[in-house]
Structure formats: C-alpha cells, structure tokens
Chain A
C-alpha cells in the first residue's frame, strides 16, 4: 500500500497489522508472549479469566475482548472476566492506541482461547474415551454427541490448573458464520457501576493511610522558580509536606480540601519570559522551522506535469493545536517505599509507564508495579502519564501513599496537545477537468511523544529545570497523507519539525484527521474547478470496491443529489452539504461522511444539522459498541472543527478552562445517521479512530456548498466565517 514505505516498526501508535510469525504474534509494540497461561485461566468456579495488556479507556474493549474469548471457548459471555493493564498480572502489549486493541489483543486472545479449547478437547477425548470429532461443547461443558451423560466441564479438566503450553497459532478457529456472541450488541460490562456510583475511576480510589496532593505548576514550561514562601500557608491545616525540587512544587496534606487551599495560597514567585511566537504568526512560524523530510510517495515529474497542465491549483490548510480536554483532570495514586513501589494510573501503557517511572524514581523496574485504573476518556496522550510521575515523586518524598489530583488548569496547560500543522496541496487539471498530478506537503512535529525515557515526563523536566527534549523519532504526520485516489502522478512529502512551540503528542488518529481535512477539502476544490459533482469526481479515481460501497451507501442514506457545488439559486438561509472519504491509514477501515450545515450569514455561525456516515471496518464485533465509537468520533471531530483552538500569548497558554476552550454542547449536536457495512469474512479492523478523520473536510465542503466560500483554517468559528464571507474568498 501507499503508506507502506513510511511505516516504521515499533515506534508508536499501532501502525501495523499483527502477524503470526516465528510462532509469536507480533503487535505494533513488539512480540507478544506465546505462553497460553499468560492469556487464559480456567477458574475453579466455572468462570474464565482472560488477561490483556490493553486497557479500557471508555471505548468498550473490556466487553469486546470478553466477547471474543467467550465466542472461541463456547462459554456464556457472563462467565468471562477480563484482567487488563497490570504489570504484575497481564502481558505487555505496549500502549492502548491506534485502534489496535481488537486487531492485536483481540487476535491474541482469540488464538489463546482456541488453543485452550483444543487442549481441553484433547484431554476430554481421553477422559471420555471418544474421538475429538465426536465431542461437542455446550456452555463450557464437553459432551459426547448423542450421549450427553458422558461429559466433563472445562472446570473439571483445568480449573485452577496451568496449561503449561504455548499458543501454537494452529488451533482451529471458529468460522465467523458460527458466531453467537461476536457480532452482537452485548451491553458494556463497565457501565452499571458507572451509572450507580460504585468505584469506577481512578479518581474514586482510596488507599489506607493515603494523603492528598495538589501541584503548584509554573505559569509556563519556560518559567523558572525564583522563591517559595512556605509561611504563606502556615495557617492551612493538615499540611504534611511541601515538596519542591527545581521547578517542581507540590503540597501534600491530610485532607483533599486542604491541598486545594494550600496550592491556591502557596506564594511562589516565578520568572517568566516570552518563548512562544505570536499566535497570528503560528503557521508562518511552522513553515519557517528546519525540517527533516520524508518522501512517502513519488511517482516522478510531479512538478513538471503540474506546470504543464491546463490549470494549476494550490491551497494551504491550517490546523491549530487541539487539547484532548479530558472531562476529568488526570489523577494518580502512588505508594513509593524504599524497596518497592506501586503506581495506579489511567495512562494507556502500563508497561512503558513503568519503565520511565523506574528511571524517574531510581528504582529497578521489577520492584515497581503499575496498575491501570480507568480515568476519564483520554483520546490519546492526556495528562495521565505525567500525573502518575508527579504522584510517584510526591509519594517518594513523603514515604506514604499519595493521591494526586490535577486541576482543570493543570490538565489544559500541561497535557501534550494535538500538534498544529500546515498542509499544502497542488494539482494540475487537464482541459477536460481530469487530474494530471497531485503534490502534497505537510509540516508537522511527531504526533507521538509518549515517554520512552524519564526526561520526557513533565516532572523530570521541572525537577531538572530542563526543557522538554526534542523527539528522538518522528511518527504519525504521514498518516493518511497519501490518498487512496488513483491520480496519475503523485508525490507526498512529510516535513518533520523537531520541535514546535507547544509540546504535543498523540491525539486520536494522529495526523489522519488533519491530512484528510486537507486532502478531502482539496479534492472538492478540484471537483469545483472541473465543474463536477464531488461524489462523481471521487468515484472517477477510486477502484477499491469497498471504497465505492461506503461512498454509495452514504450517498444513498443522505439522499445525495448529483450536482456541482456550490448550490445555485442562493436562498437567505444558507444550507449546504459536503462529502469526504478516507480509508484510515490507507488500508484500514473505510469511511464516507456527508455533513449538512446551515450558515448564518449575519453571525457567521455554522450549525451542523445532520451527519451521515457509512463505515466498513470488516467483521463487526459489537454493532452497538461500534456505533457508540462512531457517534463519539463524529461529535468530537465536529467540536474540533467548529470550536476548538488552544490559545496562547508569547508567555503562556491561555486556554485553561471550558470558557477559554469551549467544546460542542448538546444544543449544537447534529443528528448522526450511521450505515454499518459488516464484512464477516474480512478481518476485524479498528474503529476507535477512522471516523474521526472525515468530518472536518465534509463540513468545510458543506460550508462552501452553502456559501461559495472556502474555509482552510480550523476552527470554523463565527468570526472566521464572517470574515471569509465579507471578503468573499473562494
């Protein structure tokens, strides 16, 4: 595939398909254990315990993985219990990221469950004196067909005992047509406790003898501590310790409200300096930085072909910094004792986190246990990893268990942002309106900067008074930079920036959303220049039947009228429709999205009225869980494209709360209609991200359809739309 050349192994957010090779399943994060006992345990009470190194992030994988195990083992869903993300109990599966959990952990568990079933069938064959083909399985009981009195259960065979064997990847797998649990909308197992107030989140955890902590962060990552006046909080009761190491400051108290008060009142003097470019110059600043270039695809002669074409078209698109903006600020608990430590964290990679925390607190990795506990939705790297590091530093300083709660402002200022990017596309058209060549450039930092060494943690940066280190690898900006269109001559160049003004890391889909915004906006710009219907124009350049299917399905559901854009016969209420298509990572799930918008010409307000999505992610594990992910992607991406932009001045980040970083509200949410295309004979592809990528271009194209004005800078705020309308730029 086109993106193949850019894929680097083992570097980030789950970029490759798992493959069974040399007797082991390879995930994007390295080889997985092939010991059956690491994945599956038959308990003595008739239940099955399954282990996954992936974690539940609100995306429903605790349920979906249990479905896969129940299916392959032929036991009722209710009898499977998942243990996930604990460095003492579960396999190392790197990060839960990149829409990889079903593809990687799901496949590992499917193979392990099939292996376990195979082993138990062989044992039952001996025990029941019957051949394996005579045996059937019913609810975890193996019976001789036609002689049900001769039976033995999984529990009787293996309850509490280890298998002591490897997963061979040759055990017979159930055919998808025989699935009874996979493919059904099993309700989420994590939901009942969340809806009744039982302990569900890391924020709810309490440890015996636990202290509470809050941070006093500097006003920016460039600020330096000048002085700290401990007497300023002598009246606050319950102070146990004020921890100051370099620019790292935290207060530890007996009760939570005391730490809130102490952090508010502690007088710390910081020296600040300007270190950020003026926001108005962000995009020219990004384009002025030194780059390391990767040519993802080059068919040759692209510039010459464009120069000699009947028409040349060029456009530049801008993506601001976005915040993950988890609805609950990060929280972590740590109990660091001299000889051993335990850290509870909502971070997406317990094993990688353990490795950097061990460096940070100077403890051997095997003395440190990291246990994942769910936090608020993170959508990439939010503050969870850094909060865990802060908690570990504080607990080590006080020698007692500490619960650290970040504030809303801590989360907005100190979470790594989704990178700001510049995309430039040029193309040539012949005199018939056909594309002659396509030239794509993107300027971006790495989209993945998850900590691989302690210096990448904010705590280490503050303690050592060292700025955040430049990335040692670049990854993610190439995601969906190439399109899936069959344009005759194509070149795709990624200009990697070593550092950009704000620290950034993984956000759902990495560069996929921004590249698709540029690509799919520009395809419409070409269709407009060619006087073609945007759907018809795309169909000319697609030959993948699955791509055609999602486009036709979306068009049919939305009642797409084939006509050129913009809409003619302008009415006072400006309404338009826009289309966008992508195959995630060029070879994963396929999405076609049609947005219908209204634009108020007076205020410039864009209202999304209806979004139609057709979605093909191969075999569907849980249709309702899938729809939940798609609805979430559509609403979150609409929020990003219509409202979101991290603001800063030369000294500080200015987006610090929900007033300064507003997100989409109930009254602004459109109807979302989803067409699921199930392909039981195709591999199950990840669905956590693909439908994040098409929304922004669909909205931009719809605004153009409504107004004849092209928006190329996210977000499409009323001010920006009003300005575009008054300048009449198209």
Chain B
C-alpha cells in the first residue's frame, strides 16, 4: 500500500514511506519532523502550511506526495543557514511580527518567495501577494513592516 517516495527537502533527498495520496504536509510534519508548516484548514484557504516549492510559495495541505516529484522544497527550517536566521526571519523578529505565531510560517515563506521575485515590492504588491495568508490575531501591520525590513536586509531596499 505505502510507496517509497523520494523527495528533496531543505537540500537533502529523503526517502519516505507513504500512501501516494498522502498530503505533503503530513509527510513533512510526521515523517521528517518539520513542524513549521502548520495545518490551518486543509483546504488551501489560509496559507499556514506553506512551503517554498521550486521558487513559489505553495500550500502543502492538499499537494499529494506522489505529485511532488523532484522539485526542491524548502521549509521554514531550511531557510536558516549554519544556525543563522534568514533575513526574512530576522526581519520578523525585529518587528515582533506575530501574536500567536501560528500563521507565521506561511507569512515568512510567502515573503521569502516574494522577495526573490521582487526585491523591493511596493505596499500594494506586498498586500496582494499576502492576501492568501490569513492572520486572525491582527498582526498584519507588523508583518507588512517586516516584509519591508526584510527587503532592506536582503537587497538594501533596491529594486
């Protein structure tokens, strides 16, 4: 029943045993022990489960493990290098951009993907690109400040 499936997560190849229709989220959390992507809805509506898939921020709650293929996946854990925070993580810490922090995984992942595409996105682009990430505590303004701060840290605020 379970297949051996090889996936590329945070720069390493992992062989996992799972039914082919298993959502990637459960494999990341339960097989690989990567707890940053969260189960928020299982419906691709909230963004809490986001990972970087190739170059895009994507929800992992409905993506079947059999469909992942060889595309590299980066999770929040994989953003760090040699124990150093990624600039987006650093910016979120500086701006204290969370309350409960449950949505933060998706916020940081979406921001990291955005800032690779647009080095210095304007307010409207930031807001629209984060519209698929829901926050219930109302940390939006801090998150927006953190995205701008991250753009400065990564690219010196240059387009």
Contact = CB atoms under 8 A, between A and B. Distances in A.
Interface string B1-40: 1100000000000000011001100100110001110111
Q: Which of A198, A257, A375, A657 has the most CB of B within 10 A?
A: A257
Contacts of B34: 197
A327 B96 contact: no
Contacts of B105: 197
Interface string A165-193: 00000000000000000000001101110
Contacts of A671: 141
Contacts of A196: 36, 76-77, 80, 85, 89
B136 A377 contact: yes
A375 B102 CA distance: 8
Contact of A636 (B42, B98, B136): B136
B109 to A, nearest CB: 10
B130 interface: yes
A419 B126 CA distance: 35
Interface stretch (A92-100, A123-131, A334-342, A627-635): A627-635
Contact of B137 (A194, A204, A377): A377
Q: Which of A196, A201, A408 has the most CB of B within 10 A?
A: A196
B24 to A, nearest CB: 10
B136 A194 contact: no
A326 B136 contact: yes
Interface string B106-138: 001000000000000000101110110111111
A636 B22 CA distance: 34
Interface residues on A, range: 35 or more
Contact of B139 (A197, A376, A379, A631): A631
A635 B140 CA distance: 8
A390 interface: no
Interface in B138-159: 138-144
A11 B86 CA distance: 47
Contact of A59 (B1, B18, B48, B99): B99
Nearest to A235: B1
A635 B39 contact: no
A195 to B, nearest CB: 5
Contacts of B108: 195
Q: Which of B26, B126, B133 has the most CB of A within 10 A?
A: B26
Contacts of B124: 667
A59 B136 CA distance: 13
Contacts of B46: 327, 658
Contacts of B137: 58, 327, 377, 632, 636
Contacts of A600: none
B139 A628 contact: yes
Contacts, number: 169
A663 interface: yes
B77 A657 contact: no
A556 to B, nearest CB: 21
Nearest to B47: A327
A657 B45 contact: yes
B36 to A, nearest CB: 3
Nearest to A376: B102
Contact of A192 (B76, B93, B100, B139): B93
A327 B26 contact: no
B42 A665 contact: no
A43 interface: no
A446 B70 CA distance: 55
Interface in A600-653: 624-625, 628-629, 631-636, 639
Interface string A662-706: 011111010110000000000000000000000000000000000
A671 B144 CA distance: 11
Contacts of A379: 136
Contact of B101 (A190, A255, A325, A665): A190
A405 interface: yes
A194 B98 contact: yes
A237 B1 CA distance: 8
Interface of A is mostly: loop
B103 interface: yes
A191 B29 CA distance: 20
A465 to B, nearest CB: 29
Given A204-B35, A257-B26, A633 B138 contact: yes
A327 B99 contact: no
B104 interface: yes
Contact of A327 (B19, B36, B48): B48
A256 interface: yes
Nearest to B136: A327
Contacts of A625: 96
Given A405-B39, A408-B41, A633-B138, A666 B98 contact: no
A59 B133 CA distance: 20
Q: Which of A60, A629, A669 has the most CB of B within 10 A?
A: A669
B76 A197 contact: yes
A667 B141 CA distance: 11
A203 interface: yes
Interface in B28-81: 29-30, 34-36, 38-43, 45-46, 48, 75-77, 80
Contact of A631 (B80, B134, B142): B142
Contacts of B40: 327-329, 408
B38 A203 contact: yes
B48 A635 contact: no
Contacts of A667: 124, 127-128, 131
A374 interface: yes
Contacts of A256: 26, 29-30
A357 interface: no
A422 to B, nearest CB: 27
B25 to A, nearest CB: 9
A200 interface: yes
A633 B99 CA distance: 11
A327 B100 contact: yes
A666 B131 CA distance: 5
Interface string A20-46: 000000000000000000000000000
A407 B42 contact: yes
Contacts of A328: 38-40, 48, 102
Contacts of B134: 327, 658, 663, 665
A657 B45 CA distance: 8
Nearest to B99: A58
Given A327-B135, A377-B136, A201 B93 contact: no
Given A635-B138, A666-B127, A327 B102 contact: yes
A28 B9 CA distance: 50
Contacts of B1: 237
A199 interface: yes
Interface in A399-416: 405, 407-408
A270 B19 CA distance: 30
A24 B93 CA distance: 39
A199 B35 contact: yes
A629 B100 CA distance: 11
Contacts of A632: 99, 137-139
A343 interface: no
A325 B142 CA distance: 21
Contacts of B92: 195
10 contacts: A188-B96, A196-B80, A197-B36, A204-B35, A375-B102, A376-B100, A628-B139, A658-B134, A667-B128, A669-B140
Interface of A: 57-60, 187-188, 190-192, 194-201, 203-204, 237, 255-257, 260, 325-329, 374-377, 379, 405, 407-408, 624-625, 628-629, 631-636, 639, 657-659, 663-667, 669, 671-672
* 8 closest A-B pairs by CB: A58-B100, A197-B36, A635-B138, A194-B101, A377-B100, A632-B138, A376-B102, A204-B35
